[in-house]
Amino acid sequence: MPKSKIPHFTVDGAHYKSDDGMRLTDCCAVFSTYEDGMLCCKKCWREVEVGQGDGCEYYEKKPNPVAYHISLDGKPKEALRRFLDSLGD
């Protein structure tokens, strides 16, 4: 798994942020940006496809969100609270 400071999970080689399921770059599991008209990884600057790290693609089925959002003190983090609240709608 790429060394990334962004908490993430991997499905079929694609990396997704743990809190909201946004897809990250396949190469480094980070965000991307446009440089000279090309979408590039913000870590290694390789060109990436649209959807990788730009906020256009999200994972719809997240793995057990509780496993990714419990703090060390055992209390749910804010992202988990928002997710659980959304289930009640």
- Beta strands 38-41 and 32-35 are antiparallel
Judge whether 55 lies within some domain.
yes
What confidence tens digit (pLDDT) does each residue in 51-75 have? 999 999 998 765 555 555 555 555 6
Give the domain extent around 49. Answer: 8-63
| Rounded (5°) CA angle 19-22-24 | 110
User: Which spans in 16-72 are helix H?
Assistant: 65-68
Judge whether 49 lies within some domain.
yes
Angstrom CA distances, 58 to 29, 36, 65, 68, 74, stand at 14, 25, 15, 16, 27
Judge whether 28 lies within some domain.
yes
What's this model's pTM, rounded to 2 decimal places?
0.64
Judge whether 2 lies within some domain.
no
Domain count across the chain: 1
Judge whether 3 lies within some domain.
no
Judge whether 19 lies within some domain.
yes
Judge whether 51 lies within some domain.
yes
What confidence tens digit (pLDDT) does each residue in 25-56 have? 999 999 999 999 999 999 999 999 999 999 99
